[in-house]
Amino acid sequence: MTRRRLQAWAGLAAVALLLDLPEGSAAQRAPLVAAAASLNPAMTDIAKQFERDRRLRVEVVFGASGTLTRQIRDGAPFELFLAADEEFPNQLAAAGLTRGAGVVYAEGRLALFAPTGSPLAVDARLDGLATLLAAGGVTRFAIANPEVAPYGRAAEALLRKRGLWEGIRPRLVLGDSIAQAAQFATTGNAVGGLLAYSLVSSQAFATRGVYAVIPPSEHPPLRQRMVLLERAGPITSQFYEYLQGAAARRLLEQHGFTVPK
Amino acid sequence: MDWTALGVSLRLGVATILILLPFGVWLGRALAIATFRGKLLVEALVTVPLILPPTVLGFYLLVTFGARSPLGQAFQAIAGQALPFSFEGLLLASVIANIPFVVQPIQRGFEAIPSEVRDAAACCGLSPWQRFTRIEAPLAWPSILTAAILAFAHTLGEFGVVLMVGGNIPGETRTLSIAIYDRMQAFDDRGAGVMAATLLVIAVGTLLATTALSRRGVRRRG
C-alpha cells in the first residue's frame, strides 16, 4: 500500500471512530452504582442476579467509600451509593446530595490474612501478629488507608486496641481501598494484612492464603449504609428495593456480611 | 479483554490528536520561525505538562470544573452533566497533558527547514499559504506524524489524570489503563494480563513507527 493510501485509510478510520462518539451516551446507558471496594465479589453476584430476575441492568463501579464520596460531591453521575460505613453517606445526605437518609444494608467483618508462605500465624486475637512483630519479622503489613476506607479505620482501631499500632506503623502499607490493600497483602510484598472478610472469603482468594475472622466486638461496627442519590432513576430505585429483598440478602450473607433484620 | 475500555482509549487518542494537531502545527511553526517577546515563556509553558505530576493537572481540573465550583455549576447547567467524570472532561485533560508531545516535535520539524528554502519560495512569488502547504508542510510532515503518534500513544498510557477526573465509568471514562487497575483490584489477573499485553504491543508498535519515521526524515534531508 502506498503511503498516501495508508494516510487516507488512517484518516477514514479516525473519522469513523469519532462518529461513533455519541453512541452509548448517558441516556441509554445502564444506571451507575457506586459501591465500596469490600463489596466487589458480592455486588458482582447481586447485579447478575438482578439482571436475571428483573431483566434490568445496573453498572457497578467500585472504590474506597471516601474516594467515591469525593467523586459524588464533584458531580460524578452515580445514582446509588453503597458505602462501607455510615459516615460517608451521612455526609452526602447532610450536603443535600441524596434522596432520603438511606438504610443500613449490611454489617462487615474484618479478617486477618496471611498469604501462602508468610511467616505470620493468623488468629482472631492477633497474638501471632504481636509475636512476629516483637521478633522483628513483620516486613510489611497491609491495611486500607484509614482516611478514605472504613475497613482501614476499623483495622487501625483494632491494632490500637491490641497495643500494636505504634509498633506496626512504620511497617504499614496503605491501600487506596480495601481491594488495593488486599492486592498488597497477596502479591507477597507483605506478611499479611487486615482485610475485609467479604474479600478474603471470595473465590479469587481461595488459593492465596489463610485468614482468621475478627469478632465484631473487637472494633467499632462496620455498619454499611446505602443511599439513593439525587439523580436516581426508576431502574436504580428498583435495584435499591431489590437489595433489601431476600435474594440480595442471601447473597450478602454468603459473602460474609451480617444482614440487619 | 474489555473492548469497551479499548474503545474509550482509542476514541480519546484520536479525539486528542484531531484537536491538538492543528494547534500544534500553528504553535510549533510559530515557535520555530518567529521571534517575539515572551517566546521563552511560551516555550516553558508548552513544556510544563511534561514534568508536571498528573495529579496536579487532576487537582486543578477538579477544583475548576467540579460540581462545587461556580464554573463547574455553570457548565453543568448548560451541558446537563459535570465536566469531570465525563468523556469530555477526560478529553480536556488529555489535550492539556499532550501539548508538549505535539508541539515539540513539530517545532523541531519546522526548525530543520533551512531559512534559505523559505526565502527562495518567497522570492518565487509563493504566497505565505502556498509556502506553507507546498514547501514547509511536506518537509515537516514526518515530524507532524511523529507528534500525532506520540500523542496517541501517550493518551493510551495516561493513568493518573484519568484516575482522578475520570472515575472509572464504563464506556465513558474507563480507559484501558484504568481497566487494568480495576481488574487487578478485582483479582482478575488474567483479564489484567491480556489488557497489559495489548498496551505493551501498542507501545512497542508506536516506538517502532516513530523511529522508522524519524530515520526516513533524516535520510531525506541528508
A204–B188: do the CB atoms touch at under 8 Å? yes
Q: What are phi and psi of A52, to 5 degrees?
A: -70, -45
What local confidence, expressed as pLDDT, does residue A29 receive? 82
- CA dist B94 and B100 (Å) reads 11
Put simply, whether A185 touches B (Cβ < 8 Å) is no
Put simply, whether A14 touches B (Cβ < 8 Å) is yes
Residue B217 has pLDDT above 80, yes or no: no
CB pairs under 8 A between A and B: 85
Sign, Cα dihedral of B91, B92, B98, B99 = positive
Put simply, whether B137 touches A (Cβ < 8 Å) is no
Is A185 a member of any domain?
A: yes
Sign, Cα dihedral of A184, A187, A192, A195 = positive
Residue A21 has pLDDT above 60, yes or no: no
Judgement on whether residues A207 and A245 belong to the same structural domain of the protein: no
Q: Where are the alpha helices (DSSP H) in A121-233?
A: 127-134, 150-161, 165-168, 178-186, 197-200
Q: State the average pLDDT over residues A22-51.
A: 85
Respond yes or no on whether ipTM tops 0.90. no
Is A210 a member of any domain?
A: yes
What local confidence, expressed as pLDDT, does residue A254 receive? 96
Domain containing residue B156: CATH number: 1.10.3720.10
| CB B202, CB B9: distance < 8 Å | no
Among candidates A59, A71, A183 on the partner chain, residue whose Cβ is nearest the Cβ of B85: A71
Q: Which residues contact A93 (CB under 8 A, 6 or more apart)?
A: A100, A101, A102, A227
What local confidence, expressed as pLDDT, does residue B1 receive? 85
Is A199 a member of any domain?
A: yes
Judgement on whether residues A207 and A230 belong to the same structural domain of the protein: no
Judgement on whether residues A136 and A104 belong to the same structural domain of the protein: no
pLDDT range class, residue A161, cuts 50, 70, 90: very high
A44 CB neighbours in chain B (<8 A) are: 186
Put simply, whether A40 touches B (Cβ < 8 Å) is yes
Is A160 a member of any domain?
A: yes
| Strand pairing report for A80-82 and A172-175 | unpaired
Judgement on whether residues A184 and A242 belong to the same structural domain of the protein: no
Higher pLDDT, A106 or A9: A106
Domain containing residue A52: CATH number: 3.40.190.10
Q: What are phi and psi of A225, to 5 degrees?
A: -110, 145
pLDDT range class, residue B98, cuts 50, 70, 90: very high
User: Please, which residues bridge with residue A183 across strands?
Assistant: none
Is A250 a member of any domain?
A: yes
Residue A125 has pLDDT above 90, yes or no: yes
A204 CB neighbours in chain B (<8 A) are: 186-188
Number of domains chain B contains: 1
Instruction: Report helix, strand or coil for B3.
Output: helix
Q: Chain A window 62-81: which residues touch B at a Cβ cutoff of 8 Å? A: 62-63, 71, 73-77
Domain hosting A193: range is 110-218
Nearest to A77 by CA among A227, A242, A229: A229
A179 CB neighbours in chain B (<8 A) are: 185-186
Residue A233 has pLDDT above 90, yes or no: yes
- Per-residue pLDDT reduced to its tens digit, B126-155: 888 999 999 999 999 999 999 999 999 999
Judgement on whether residues A196 and A240 belong to the same structural domain of the protein: no
Put simply, whether A89 touches B (Cβ < 8 Å) is no
Number of domains chain A contains: 2
Domain hosting B144: range is 3-221
Instruction: Report helix, strand or coil for A141.
Output: strand
Using CA atoms in the order A183, A222, A218, A133, what is the torsion angle rounded to 10 degrees? 20
Q: State the average pLDDT over residues A213-221.
A: 94
Among candidates B11, B168, B187 on the partner chain, residue whose Cβ is nearest the Cβ of A21: B11
Put simply, whether A205 touches B (Cβ < 8 Å) is yes
Put simply, whether A38 touches B (Cβ < 8 Å) is no
What is the identity of the amino acid at B112?
A
Judgement on whether residues A103 and A228 belong to the same structural domain of the protein: yes
pLDDT range class, residue A4, cuts 50, 70, 90: low
- CA dist A114 and A112 (Å) reads 7
Put simply, whether B47 touches A (Cβ < 8 Å) is no
Is A209 a member of any domain?
A: yes
